[in-house]
Amino acid sequence: MGLSNLRSEASKKTDCKFEKKLQFYAKVRETVASLNVKKAIGKDKIVRRRQKKLKAYDLSTLSEFLPELKDPRPHPPPPSKFELSCKSRQKLVLKEGKQLMAVLNHPVFQSDPLGAIHQHLQCTQLAIDKKPLKSRIRGGKKKKQKKLKSSAPRPMDM
């Protein structure tokens, strides 16, 4: 009589605990789902904001109205930021080898190699304007006055 009553109470407690666990897990799933939705919305907002910024800096419509300027010397292509695969590395080595052979066989290079290299560097590099630096002497005026005073003849006072 007493044991069956205890067992029923114990089973009720375990059932209650199990139900609470299930409810807790359900709440956790709901909050995780809502957080994922908020995160996705936040990412969408960030993407939209970035696209708006890009549109603000897009000056392609202005280029239609501006006159085109032709540069006297072509700009070298910007350095590529991709990693070289084996195949592209081989192509690059072949291309550079052909270019080196063309330079070595060029008559100007054969007659004066250093002069040809110097001329090539002058043509390809941008000119840098160097301004001569002024030499600053602090207290220059005062020093001159002191020198003049010290070099002037003084009467002897006793």
Amino acid sitting at position 6: L
What is the tens place of the pLDDT at every residue in 58-69?
Answer: 777 777 777 776
- pLDDT per residue as tens digits for the range 123-145: 888 766 666 566 655 666 777 77
Per-residue pLDDT tens digits for 83-121: 778 888 899 999 999 999 999 999 999 999 899 888 888
CA 111, 113, 115: angle at the middle one, nearest 5? 95
Structure pTM? 0.29
- What is the Cα–Cα distance from 91 to 93, expressed in whole angstroms? 5
